[in-house]
Structure 1
């Protein structure tokens, strides 16, 4: 079992623990599936809003981010559904990464992705229902506020009612709403770690999230801030080396291909319509510091023959995979860091050392041994 200090020193292990092909691949698959779901439903939203496929493809390409000027309400519903798919995929992938990290910290370095997926099939619901339950409660409180506003339009009685009940219950409910919204965003980070370590249901997961933030607030936010900084730094470093790797490909292959490779690459980049501010954020080490690697500008593309177009499209897909791989490392740092953070805070809060619990392998062996005990031996044991 890994030596654990149960303090801030353990948080700095997150980048090293996350630098694992297994964890990055799990996070990558969640990111990829979520992206595909988002892409499909966003295109459906644009189509249902009256935009043609060719128009949407021309202006938004493979990354339809920003300028969601939908003219129909159901288009917004389709778009929101796509966003929920992306969110759920991220939460599920984070849960698997958290589970692999937890088992590794308990001493099982060979806990596989297949076992993590098997665990997820049994405990997938709390991982995303915990945040979504809070979101539903937030929506309920907002709807209640709207109803109160409608009642306030009643002449005389409505105005008096607003004045009388402004402090209690309106202010109290609004204060509760603000706190629940805050915890909702925390749950997006912490819920996978709670599910992976405790294997609890949705209600208990929500209770643990509230309890952790309430009892260990300053530690949680300091540790999470450190994890966020390390995630940003990890993305920058991994992104830098990935960028240089792509440059090396073009330097070597461009010796003979020359302008042909340049044209294909330019056309490939035209498919990747990622907002410039997004690329600038990840190509710079930290906001406010001008320490960056300069990505090529994305242009409108150029005309190529059919083979060149196919090549450009395949290169665009490859570049998207590289971008997702870089982001997956950053997300893996967050998932790993949140798992480590929760293990520390659980010890501080309840004096419960989660690392002393049996690994999944040990639990499976124990269940197998119990099932192999003959009934006669069980009866003799009970009599004794």
Structure 2
């Protein structure tokens, strides 16, 4: 078991614990699956808005994230479902990373992603329903406000009523709503960690989310802020080395391929239509500090023959995978860090050491031992001779005596 201090020192372990192929791969798969669902639904949304597949591909490529031509509500709904799907995939992947981290903290360094997936199949509902329940509650309060506004349109009575009840309960309810929205945002980070460490149901996860943020507010926001900084720096460092590795490939292969490789890379980069401000954000170490690696400018692309086009597409996909791998490390830092944070704050808040809870292997062994014990007891019961009723025993003895006398 890793030595745990239950204070801020443990938070700084997040980048090191997150630098694991297992955790990064889990986060990468969640990001990739979410991206594919988002990409598909985005193209459907663009198609429903009147844009053909060719037009969408030409102007938006692999990242339809700007210049939305949506005018109909259903186009926005389809696009929103795509964003929601990506968010759900990220939440589930974060729960898996949190579970792997939790088992590692307890001493099980060989806890596999397959076991984490098995855990997720049993507890996915708590991960998803926690923020969803809060969102439904937020929507309910907003609808109540709309209804009150509708009643306020009643001549004289409605206007006076709004004035009378403005402070209580309207302002009080609005203040509580603002707090719930605040909790909802941070539940996206904290809920997967709570589920990963406690396996609680949705209601208990919501209670723990409110409890942690209310009782340990300054610690939680301090730790989360530090995690945000470490995740950003981690993405920058990983991205820098990935960028230099790509440059090495370009340099070594370009010695003989020359202009052909340059054309292929230029065309491949034309598919990476990520908004410029996002690329600038990830290529700079931190906002406000001009310390960056300069990515090549994305041009309109060049015309290539069929083999060059295939190579271009494959390289573009590879570049997307590299970008996702870099981002996955940052997301893994957040997931690992939130797990560490919750273990610390649960100790501070309730004086409960979550690392002393039984592991899944221990629970499985206890269950197996209990089943074996029950089976042995059942076999012993079956092996006992059947006791005959008293009446039958007396009759058999009399019959034996009669046979002996005769």
Give the TM bin, normalised by the shorter chain: over 0.9
Following superposition, the deviation at residue 69 of structure 1 comes to 3.5
Deviation by residue 1:124-145 (Cα, 9 ceiling, x = unmatched): 0111110111111111111211
Moved more, 232-241 or 131-140: 131-140
TM-score, length-scaled by structure 2: 0.92
Which secondary structure state, in structure 2, belongs to the residue aligned with residue 108 of structure 1? coil
Match of 1:198 in 2: 198
Cα displacement string for residues 92-120 of structure 1 (whole angstroms, at most 9, x for unaligned residues): 00000000000000000000000000000
Q: Which deviates further from its counterpart, 365-374 or 89-98?
A: 365-374
Cα displacement (A) at 1:157: 1.4
**Deviation of the 1:68 alpha carbon:** 2.5
Structure with greater Cα Rg: 2
2:251 aligns with 251
Further displaced range: 357-366 or 321-330? 357-366
Could you say which residue in structure 1 is the equivalent of 2:77? Answer: 77
Q: Which runs of 4+ in 1 moved over 3 A?
A: 374-380
Structure 2: segments with no counterpart, 5+ residues:
381-406
Question: Mapping of 1:220-235 within 5 angstroms?
Answer: 220-235=220-235
Distance verdict in 2 for CA 1:142–1:22, change over 3 Å:
same
Q: Deviations over 1:5-57 (max 9, x none)?
A: 00000000000000000000000000000011111111111111122211111
Q: CA RMSD in A?
A: 1.2
Q: How many residues in Structure 1 have an aligned counterpart in Structure 2?
A: 380
CA distance, structure 2, for counterparts of residue 321 and residue 263 of structure 1: 21
Q: How does 1:165-204 map to 2 (within 5 A)?
A: 165-204=165-204
User: Which residue number corresponds to residue 313 of structure 2?
Assistant: 313
SS at 2:109 equivalent: coil
Structure 1, 166-175 or 118-127: larger mean CA deviation: 166-175
Question: C-alpha separation between the residues in 1 aligned to 2:96 and 2:175?
Answer: 34
Single out whichever of 325-334 and 157-166 deviates more from structure 2. Answer: 157-166
Q: Deviation per CA, 1:311-352, whole angstroms, max 9, x where unpaired?
A: 101100000000000000000000000000000000000000
SS in 2 for 1:139: helix
Query: Which position in structure 2 is the counterpart of 1:21?
Result: 21
Matched, 1:282 2:282: yes
2:152 paired residue number: 152
Residues 249-292 of structure 1: per-residue CA shift (max 9 Å, x gap): 01110010000000000000000100010010010001111111
- Residue 4 of structure 1 aligns to a residue in which SS? coil
